[in-house]
Amino acid sequence: MGILLKIENLHVAVRDRLILKGVNLEVGDGEVHVIFGPNGSGKSTLAMAIMGHPEYRIVSGRIIFDGEDITEKPIDERARMGISIAFQNPPKLHGIRLKDLLARIASENGVGEKFLEMVDKLNISREHLSRYVNVGFSGGEIKRCEIAQALASNPKLLILDEPDSGVDVENLELIGRFLSESLRNRSALIITHHGHILRHLKPMKAHVLIDGMIACEGDPEQILSRIMRDGYRWCERCRLMRGG
């Protein structure tokens, strides 16, 4: 299997503050990886830097996607190459109805009417579809709407930024079940602070981000159970043991 995403020694700053301090990461075709890390460790920064958000400045290092160096490429070009993200805190879009946006994303990516099946599976109601994007959505509705938008472009790589934060049990189960089906034959990077989504998803590899660097990598279940038991302090020690 080929490498879809390769991140080399990535340093990223937001305004003038350096957040990522040398991240290395590889995701193969069809692989689902999870990124753990405490608040402020740089998880969302990593997600935004891969997507190409202009506020996240790449200071040094490279991002290779699908064999191409995309470090300098703008966000929309990366999206058209097959990178897609479900945002954690998306903005409200007054006047733009969810169904119109989904239909347009789907049609531009040759997905056509098939997005409607996805909408059904995500339990997005007609009433929800007719509302303005993210205006008056509940936490669970935002997550489901983000996942629907991110998948409507049929991406090669799906980045999920905290798909399980602020989501009730029913929504978590629904999202988890849906994702485990949608991520067959697709690469994904799932960012999660507390790992609830792993009750429904079985990623093949976990990376722990501490203070802007990957502190530890390995089997997701093992790592999550250590975090649950000992907290992220365990990883901090682990990084020291690995020589940081």
Neighbours of 100 (CB within 10 A): 14
Q: At its nearest, how many Å lie between other proteins and the CB of residue 57?
A: 14
Q: What are the backbone dihedrals phi and psi of residue 180, each rounded to the nearest 5 degrees, phi first?
A: -65, -30
Q: Decide whether 116 or 213 has the Cβ nearer to other proteins.
A: 116
Q: Decide whether 78 or 196 has the Cβ nearer to other proteins.
A: 78
143/85 Cα distance (integer angstroms): 11
213/199 Cα distance (integer angstroms): 26
Q: Which of 100, 152, 103 is nearest to 130 (CA)?
A: 100
Q: Decide whether 35 or 98 has the Cβ nearer to other proteins.
A: 98
Q: What are the backbone dihedrals phi and psi of residue 133, each rounded to the nearest 5 degrees, phi first?
A: -60, 120
The tokens of 110 are what? 């040759």
Q: Decide whether 112 or 218 has the Cβ nearer to other proteins.
A: 112
Q: Decide whether 74 or 218 has the Cβ nearer to other proteins.
A: 74
Q: Which residues in this chain contact other proteins in the complex, by CB under 8 A?
A: 51-55, 74-76, 79-80, 84-85, 87, 90-91, 93-97, 101, 104-105, 108-109, 132, 149, 153
Q: Identify the helix (H) or strand (E) that includes residue 21.
A: strand 17-28
Q: At its nearest, how many Å lie between other proteins and the CB of residue 147?
A: 13
The tokens of 1 are what? 């299997």
Q: At its nearest, how many Å lie between other proteins and the CB of residue 125?
A: 18
Q: Decide whether 46 or 215 has the Cβ nearer to other proteins.
A: 46
Neighbours of 12 (CB within 10 A): 24
92/134 Cα distance (integer angstroms): 5
Q: At its nearest, how many Å lie between other proteins and the CB of residue 105?
A: 5
Contacts of 53 by beta carbon, 8 Å cutoff, 6+ apart: 75
Q: At its nearest, how many Å lie between other proteins and the CB of residue 77?
A: 9
Q: At its nearest, how many Å lie between other proteins and the CB of residue 85?
A: 6
